[in-house]
Amino acid sequence: MTLTRRDSLKLAGLGAGALLLPGRGVGTAPAVPRYLQEHASAYARDPRQAARAWFAHARYGLFLHYGVYSLGGRTTATSS
């Protein structure tokens, strides 16, 4: 199947029309992710702060440890 110029213009028109659908255009608030439904009002104000509130409420944590053992694969420049 070959795509003619007329067909490509129709597809471009459909794509432009999709931007005009309610909730999909420019200036609309982004959809709230499912895991942030409890923080929807905070998400409307500041999505990043809502995600932080969810992270604290979920009681997840992150631990990074850089010890001497992590330097084992590192190469050092030596002068000869």
Q: What is the chain's alpha carbon radius of gyration, rounded to the nearest angstrom? A: 25
26-79 residue pLDDT tens: 556 668 888 888 888 888 899 999 988 888 888 877 777 777 776 766 666 565
Residue 27: per-residue pLDDT: 57
Q: Is the pTM of this model over 0.85?
A: no
Question: Coil, strand or helix: which one is 60?
Answer: coil
Ramachandran sector of residue 29 (left: φ over 0; alpha: ψ -120 to 50; beta: rest) = beta
The burial of 39, by beta-carbon neighbours within 10 Å (0-12 exposed, 13-18 middle, 19 or more buried), is given as buried
Residue 2: per-residue pLDDT: 78
In whole angstroms, give the CA distance from residue 30 to residue 23: 8
Residue 9: per-residue pLDDT: 73
